[in-house]
Amino acid sequence: MTQLNRRQMLSQGAALIGTAASGLLVPQHALAQSGKIRVGFMLPYTGTFAQLGVAIENGVRMAINEQGGKLGGREIEWFKVDDESEPAKAIENANKLVQRDKVDVLIGTVHSGVQMGIHRVARESGVLNLIPNAGVHIATRAQCAPNVFRTSFTNSQPTMALGEAMVKRGHKKAVWISWKYAAGDEAYEGFKESYTKAGGTIIKELGLPFPNVEFQALLTEIAALKPDAVACFFAGGGAAKFMKDYAAAGLKDKIPLYGSGFLTEGVIDAAGPAAEGVLTTLHYGDGIETKRNNEFRLAYAKTFKMQPDVYAVQGYDTGLLLIQGANAVKGDLSKKGELYKAMEGATIDSPRGKWSMSKSHNPVQDMYLRQVVGKENKVIGVAAKALADSGAGCRL
Ligand code: PHB
């Protein structure tokens, strides 16, 4: 046997073993081109982020339904797992979709800690993972991966635009407060950099474990510290509770409240008057006055009988990205090289404004300064143009 033949035999043997191990009796490439594309949602459907998961799923489905409900000409079979925003169950939950359901695409998730579990499974299995929210830095920095694309933000992107906006409004001494986990810590990183660079001083960093909402002692501390302003990261149900408690503690009219814009997304009704006037920075705002955004908002409200928010937009953009990728390979997602290339080169015509994918697979996007007026996150300015995450340490 020649050297070449021997090598060929070995590699064919390995391919056969691989096929048998994955439980498939037909070659994988044949399966990939026929039948339905298997799309799995791993999102929070319970807990403080439950409404975020629902909005993301709505957005994805809306984008795909607008294009006839197919991907690259193929029908879709949907799968769903509730990740409960529980990092300890993340790997097991991701494997339900990847190993049990054999999804072609895993869409998830919201919580940065849970994302780390998904990330491990995505890197080990090679499954296509689209991140529709979680901003954990490492996923598009040192551990970036060819099969992982984010359609949302990195945790420090919104707060990188926040510091300067606060100093410009004359608030030179601030207290920071957030949940102590990757998202809060990394949002703080962005805030610290932008606020101190603009000449502000952070007099105290306060925190509590996710998803606790016992804010009372910390609010008492803020009152005693008497900063010019407070900046924070909270989201979902916890964010509504924070704004209500802030107002109830008598701080609302004394110390202006700022935040990364998740603070006021999807919770303006729940927070009521406590949200009025709150200023935030984010890559979306209800009041973006473009035809694209107005049409999106109308269609979403009509279909789902609720107002869209940033999470719905991120889900929608995830759908748009997947459509662009699937169309480029005519539904054959096994053509990974071509699929990734199409997604890397995609420009997404989003309700937030057009954005492109950075080299490390994260959106390059504008950040808006918004203020809650009535039931809306009104856009009052652009806080940063075409803001890209550093992508530090990413080699693709
Ligand atoms: C995160 O955990 O990365 C996270 C969660 C909710 C948000 C934003 C970021 O609104």
- Our mutation pick for probing the ligand 1 site, out of 86, 155, 178, 233, counting the most ligand atoms within 8 A of Cβ, is 155
Query: What is the per-residue pLDDT for 209?
Result: 98
Reduced to 3 states (helix: H, G, I; strand: E, B; else coil), residue 176 is: strand
Nearest-angstrom CA–CA distance, 220 and 200 = 23
Q: What is the CATH topology of the domain spanning 35-153+288-361?
A: Rossmann fold (3.40.50)
Query: What is the per-residue pLDDT for 99?
Result: 98
Query: What is the per-residue pLDDT for 34?
Result: 64
Nearest to 272 by CA among 246, 243, 230: 243
Three-class SS string for 310-379? Answer: HHHHHHHHHHHHHHHHHHHCCCCCCCHHHHHHHHHCCEEEECCEEEEECCCCCEEEEEEEEEEECCEEEE
Boundaries of every domain in the chain:
3-32, 35-153+288-361, 157-282
- Which residues share a beta bridge with 205? 176
Query: What is the per-residue pLDDT for 371?
Result: 98
| Ligand 1 centroid distance, CA of 217 (Å) | 24
Write out the CATH class of domain 157-282.
alpha beta
Q: Give the residue whose CA is nearest to atom 2 of ligand 1.
A: 111
Does this chain's domain 35-153+288-361 share its CATH topology with 157-282? yes
Which residues of the chain are modeled with pLDDT < 70? Answer: 1-34
Residues lining ligand 1, judged by CB closer than 6 Å? 110-112, 133-136, 155, 183, 235, 262
| Nearest atom (ligand 1) to Cα of 113 | 2
Query: What is the per-residue pLDDT for 16?
Result: 40
- Note the pLDDT tens digit of each residue in 210-257: 999 999 999 999 999 999 999 999 999 999 999 999 999 999 999 999
Nearest-angstrom CA–CA distance, 278 and 377 = 9
| Ligand 1 centroid distance, CA of 134 (Å) | 5
| Ligand 1 centroid distance, CA of 64 (Å) | 24
8-state DSSP, 195: H
Nearest to 135 by CA among 169, 163, 160, 112: 112
Query: What is the per-residue pLDDT for 2?
Result: 41
Q: Which residue is associated with the tokens 């895993």?
A: 106
Q: Which residues contact 140 (CB under 8 A, 6 or more apart)?
A: 148, 150, 154, 358, 360, 361, 362, 389, 391, 394
